[in-house]
């Protein structure tokens, strides 16, 4: 307690000084200015390094060693400053001579270069690297000195050097001081950086503060994991929405976002390993990496805005990397919540196959263990809750910009169905009894709730009957666009913006339109066949006719985990190459295939009020808006006034995108209105002025500037 009276004020002063030096270095105009910043950072390093030397072994000898180290570093720093000061003087003298000589071209060149440097106002790569290295070294030495001064014992871990590294970086002296430096840097530079960028790095500093290793307390560890995860989810939501609203981003921001999410993936993996194996090494490495990413972004200064911009949608590999790292972070975050809620039994309760026997048997067991472990987390309620919070927020944003009331209602039902139907009822209400409840326990058909046992046949058949009737009356949209978790994952603002990849990626283009491509036929056939065979084997195994399991697991249950808890997420992060709603466009979802087949012969379809408007439409926005890539919509509207396809899942983006409000949904409700002699759609378009070759609704016309009467 007594040590904190002087240690914490010193740490705060250190944070203030470092943050000020960061800002000073951003706007350094000469090498001498940068050298002065380096000298001050080296001085701080030597001071704390000397303290570490003494505190490790207090003696006269250690005092001499500490003083000697300070003398060497400070003398070298002064020489460093003098050298660059002399070079700056020489450059100034050469510049003056060029001006005096009357060389207008040279003078103009010098002035232009000087103006460009001032406009950029950011540190060079070398300067950033040196600055970041010195900051991290300072923090480490200060943390080490304060750990020794406070009497904190080292974590036993292999070697003394590794123990010191883990203890110092994971301590409150390092974590909290770095978080404070991040906050202060944001404050000092709040007027010099883009607002959205400031918000992101501010949230990053909050995540850093909630490091569970900072305080040795079980309550702090659990609370900080929860609060830090909430802050990280908030950061991810903000980044998603930022990318949705800003298609053109600079190279600096692209690099920063990818590096930051990669560090978060490493951080969450490190925390998961810490909970399972009690090792903090991976986590403290991620802390160092996150700090480096933060200061590299901040030291870029004006480069955040002035670097070359391009649409992130034109960089599929960047998007793939960003989505993959985001998923890894979310995966381990979900695993952390599972351990916090269930304890270590969550991990120990996973059934693993022994890797032994022949090479084929070892390979099969390894594959089984990997899928089982992977699916245990992705299929858990806490992972779904965390993913639902992120993607649900994006669906809420989508509701605010959606035009049609029916689509707004459906999106609201998507959120309600996800949390009620996919999480709350099966996990927190019915529990093990869920397998006997039709349309809930078997929500994705065969394998959802376990083996195809006789006791569950009524529930299984009831599920197919209920969902079949719903798909016949309302279309496959009741599954793929409402009840399925894919509806929430694909229909938010950020995922929806990536439907452009349906037309730009090579594989996405091969899956366009309602036709069944060769790939679609192969995938759908394999999926349906495998599910039918697995169901038969599972049933025969359940009634005792045969005795066959896949390393002790029911084959139907394992197949479900493979398809929906593993392959589905692989397809999701592969949106830049597959396109959105890959589970529909590739035919990999047997549950979707069943509902789409029924829907194809049911009442649901898309209709238009006037096919001629589609014929004269120049934009074909409906085709561009379809998240499944059904680009043959306009042709069908023109030829028959309606559109029916086994791939159409009624998302409704095409209806919202139509600039003429010409398109509408038709299902059992429209059929009933038709039988009652009422219009099959409500409302209508009036006062439609002709603009060019197309007819647009009057509400789409904007008032001319200055025309007050038009407001």
- 546 touches 434 (CB < 8 A): no
Confidence of residue 701 (pLDDT cuts 50, 70, 90): very low
Q: Please tell me whether residues 532 and 615 are part of one structural domain.
A: no
- 380 touches 373 (CB < 8 A): no
- Confidence at residue 462, expressed as pLDDT on a 0 to 100 scale: 96
Q: Is the pLDDT of residue 185 over 50?
A: yes
Confidence of residue 79 (pLDDT cuts 50, 70, 90): low
3-state SS string over 419-480? HHHHHHHHHHHCHHHHHHCCCCCCCCCCCCCCCCCHHHHHHHHHHHHHHHHHHHHHCCHHHH
For 190, the enclosing helix (H) or strand (E) is none
Residue 601's SS3 state is coil
Q: 101 phi and psi, to 5 degrees?
A: -65, -10
Least confident of 99-108, 133-142, 506-515, 684-693: 684-693
CA-nearest of 388, 373, 469, 465 to 424 is 388
Residue that is written with structure tokens 């123990």 in the block: 163
- Confidence at residue 500, expressed as pLDDT on a 0 to 100 scale: 92
Last residue of a domain, one of 535, 566, 597: 597
Q: Is the pLDDT of residue 13 over 70?
A: yes
Q: Is the pLDDT of residue 154 over 90?
A: no
Q: Please tell me whether residues 468 and 509 are part of one structural domain.
A: yes
The answer as to whether 327 is a domain residue is no
**Max Cα separation, the chain?**
102
The answer as to whether 227 is a domain residue is no
Adjacency order of strands within the sheet including 605-608: 642-643, 605-608, 663-666
Looking at mean pLDDT, say which of 36-45, 271-280, 534-543 comes out highest: 534-543
Distance CA 505, CA 508 (A): 5
Q: Please tell me whether residues 616 and 685 are part of one structural domain.
A: yes
Q: Please tell me whether residues 388 and 485 are part of one structural domain.
A: yes
The answer as to whether 231 is a domain residue is no
- Confidence at residue 453, expressed as pLDDT on a 0 to 100 scale: 94
- Confidence at residue 5, expressed as pLDDT on a 0 to 100 scale: 64
The answer as to whether 465 is a domain residue is yes
CA-nearest of 80, 81, 132, 113 to 300 is 132
Confidence of residue 432 (pLDDT cuts 50, 70, 90): confident
DSSP string, 73-124: HHHHHHHHHHHHHHHHHHHHHHHHHHHHTT-HHHHHHHHHHHHHHHHH----
- Confidence at residue 91, expressed as pLDDT on a 0 to 100 scale: 55
The answer as to whether 405 is a domain residue is yes
Q: Please tell me whether residues 522 and 640 are part of one structural domain.
A: no
Confidence of residue 692 (pLDDT cuts 50, 70, 90): very low
CA-nearest of 291, 281, 301 to 178 is 291
**Segment 97-125, tens digit of pLDDT:** 555 555 445 555 544 444 444 444 445 77
Least confident of 120-124, 359-363, 422-426, 438-442: 120-124
Q: Is the pLDDT of residue 626 over 50?
A: yes
CA-to-CA separations, 102 to 94, 97, 98, 487, in angstroms, rounded: 13, 9, 7, 70
Q: Supply the mean pLDDT for the chain.
A: 84
Q: Is the pLDDT of residue 151 over 80?
A: no
Q: Please tell me whether residues 570 and 619 are part of one structural domain.
A: no
CA-to-CA separations, 702 to 85, 698, 709, in angstroms, rounded: 60, 9, 12
The answer as to whether 345 is a domain residue is no
Distance CA 102, CA 12 (A): 53
Confidence of residue 308 (pLDDT cuts 50, 70, 90): confident
Least confident of 302-311, 439-448, 553-562, 685-694: 685-694
Q: What count of other Cβ atoms lies within 10 Å of the Cβ of residue 532?
A: 12
Last residue of a domain, one of 542, 563, 597: 597
Higher-confidence residue of 133 and 693: namely 133
The answer as to whether 630 is a domain residue is yes
Distance CA 261, CA 573 (A): 14
- Alpha helix ranges (H) inside 475-517: 477-478, 485-490, 493-497, 501-504, 506-510
Last residue of a domain, one of 597, 621, 640: 597
Percent of the chain whose pLDDT exceeds 90: 54
Q: Please tell me whether residues 403 and 494 are part of one structural domain.
A: yes
Q: Please tell me whether residues 548 and 675 are part of one structural domain.
A: no
- Confidence at residue 487, expressed as pLDDT on a 0 to 100 scale: 94
Distance CA 321, CA 560 (A): 27
Q: Which two tokens stand for residue 81?
A: 């400053």
- 322 touches 375 (CB < 8 A): no
Q: 642 phi and psi, to 5 degrees?
A: -150, 170
pLDDT, average across residues 181-206 = 86
Q: Please tell me whether residues 536 and 623 are part of one structural domain.
A: no
- 469 touches 475 (CB < 8 A): no
The answer as to whether 453 is a domain residue is yes
63-84 b/e (C-beta count within 10 Å ≥ 16 → b): eebbeebbeebeeebeebbeeb
Residue 543's SS3 state is coil
Confidence of residue 693 (pLDDT cuts 50, 70, 90): very low
Residue 610's domain comprises: 604-710
- 650 touches 481 (CB < 8 A): yes
Distance CA 260, CA 182 (A): 14
> How would you class 603 by CB atoms within 10 Å of its CB: exposed for 0-12, middle for 13-18, buried for 19 or more?
middle
CA-to-CA separations, 459 to 433, 436, 534, in angstroms, rounded: 11, 5, 18
Least confident of 38-47, 235-244, 338-347, 585-594: 38-47
Confidence of residue 83 (pLDDT cuts 50, 70, 90): low
Higher-confidence residue of 236 and 171: namely 236
pLDDT, average across residues 410-428 = 92
Q: Please tell me whether residues 519 and 649 are part of one structural domain.
A: no
- Confidence at residue 149, expressed as pLDDT on a 0 to 100 scale: 83
Q: Please tell me whether residues 398 and 532 are part of one structural domain.
A: yes
For residue 553, give the DSSP letter: B
Nearest-5° angle of CA 370, CA 375, CA 379?
A: 170
Q: Is the pLDDT of residue 682 over 60?
A: no
Structural domain count, the chain: 2
Distance CA 465, CA 344 (A): 40
Q: Which two tokens stand for residue 194?
A: 């883009």
**Segment 314-324, tens digit of pLDDT:** 999 999 999 99
- Confidence at residue 118, expressed as pLDDT on a 0 to 100 scale: 43
Listed in sequence order, the residues at least 6 apart from 234 whose beta carbon sits closer than 8 Å to its beta carbon are 203
Q: 310 phi and psi, to 5 degrees?
A: -155, 160
Residue 157's SS3 state is coil
Q: Is the pLDDT of residue 563 over 90?
A: yes
Q: Please tell me whether residues 561 and 618 are part of one structural domain.
A: no
- Confidence at residue 53, expressed as pLDDT on a 0 to 100 scale: 85
């Amino acid at each position: 307690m007594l040590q904190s009276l002087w240690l914490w004020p010193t740490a705060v002063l250190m944070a203030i000084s470092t943050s000020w030096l960061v800002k000073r270095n951003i706007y350094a105009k000469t090498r001498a200015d940068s050298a002065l910043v380096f000298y001050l950072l080296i001085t701080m390093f030597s001071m704390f390094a000397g303290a570490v030397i003494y505190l490790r072994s207090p003696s006269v000898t250690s005092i001499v060693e500490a003083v000697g180290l300070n003398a060497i570093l400070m003398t070298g720093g002064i020489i460093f400053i003098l050298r660059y000061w002399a070079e700056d003087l020489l450059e100034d003298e050469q510049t003056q001579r060029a001006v005096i000589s009357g060389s207008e071209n040279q003078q103009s060149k010098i002035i232009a270069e000087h103006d460009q440097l001032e406009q950029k106002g950011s540190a060079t790569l070398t300067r950033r690297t040196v600055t970041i290295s010195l900051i991290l070294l300072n923090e480490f030495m200060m943390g080490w000195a304060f750990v020794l001064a406070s009497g904190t014992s080292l974590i036993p871990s292999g070697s003394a050097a590794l123990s010191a590294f883990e203890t110092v970086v994971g301590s409150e002296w390092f974590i909290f001081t770095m978080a404070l430096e991040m906050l202060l840097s944001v404050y000092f530079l709040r007027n010099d950086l883009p607002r959205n960028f400031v918000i992101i790095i501010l949230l990053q500093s909050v995540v850093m503060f909630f490091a569970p290793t900072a305080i040795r307390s079980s309550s702090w560890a659990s609370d900080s994991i929860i609060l830090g995860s909430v802050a990280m989810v908030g950061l991810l939501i903000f980044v998603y929405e930022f990318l949705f609203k800003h298609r053109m981003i600079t190279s600096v921001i692209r690099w920063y976002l990818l590096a930051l999410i990669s560090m978060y993936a490493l951080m969450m993996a490190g925390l998961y390993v810490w909970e399972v194996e009690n090792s903090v090494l991976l986590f403290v490495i991620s802390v160092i990496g996150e700090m480096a990413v933060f200061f590299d972004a901040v030291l870029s200064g004006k480069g955040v805005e002035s670097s070359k911009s391009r649409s992130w949608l034109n960089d599929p590999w960047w998007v793939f990397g960003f989505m993959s790292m985001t998923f890894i972070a979310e995966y381990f975050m979900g695993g952390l919540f599972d351990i916090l809620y269930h304890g270590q039994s969550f991990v120990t309760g996973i059934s693993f196959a022994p890797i032994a026997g022949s090479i084929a048997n070892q390979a099969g067991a390894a594959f089984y263990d990997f899928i089982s472990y992977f699916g245990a987390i992705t299929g858990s309620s806490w992972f779904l809750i965390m993913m639902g919070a992120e993607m649900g927020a994006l669906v809420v944003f989508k509701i605010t910009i959606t035009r049609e009331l029916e689509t707004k209602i459906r999106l609201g039902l998507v959120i309600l169905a996800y949390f009620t139907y996919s999480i709350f009822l099966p996990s927190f209400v019915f529990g093990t009894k869920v397998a006997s409840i039709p349309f809930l326990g078997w929500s994705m058909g065969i394998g959802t709730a376990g083996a195809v046992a006789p006791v569950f046949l009524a529930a299984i058949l009831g599920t197919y009957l209920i969902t079949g009737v719903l798909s016949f009356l309302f279309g496959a949209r009741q599954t793929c666009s409402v009840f399925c978790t894919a509806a929430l994952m694909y229909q938010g603002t950020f995922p929806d913006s990536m439907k452009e990849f349906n037309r730009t990626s090579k594989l996405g283009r091969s899956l366009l339109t309602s036709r069944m491509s060769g790939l679609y036929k192969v995938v759908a056939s394999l999926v349906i066949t495998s599910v039918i065979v697995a169901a038969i084997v599972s049933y025969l195994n359940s009634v005792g006719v045969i005795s066959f399991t896949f390393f002790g697991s029911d084959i139907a249950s394992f197949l479900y985990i493979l398809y929906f808890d593993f392959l589905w997420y692989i397809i999701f992060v592969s949106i830049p190459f597959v396109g959105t709603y890959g589970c529909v466009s590739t035919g990999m979802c047997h549950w979707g295939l069943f509902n789409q087949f029924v829907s194809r012969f049911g009442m649901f379809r898309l209709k238009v009020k006037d096919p001629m408007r589609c014929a004269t439409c120049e934009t074909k926005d409906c085709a561009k808006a379809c998240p499944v890539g059904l680009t043959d919509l306009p042709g069908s509207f023109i030829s028959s006034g309606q559109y029916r396809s086994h791939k159409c899942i009624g998302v409704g983006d095409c209806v919202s995108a139509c600039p003429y409000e010409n398109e509408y949904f038709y299902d059992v409700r429209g059929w009933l209105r038709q039988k009652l002699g009422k219009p099959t759609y409500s409302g209508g378009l009036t006062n439609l002025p002709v603009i060019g070759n197309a007819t647009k609704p009057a509400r789409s016309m904007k008032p001319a500037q200055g025309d007050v009467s038009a407001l």
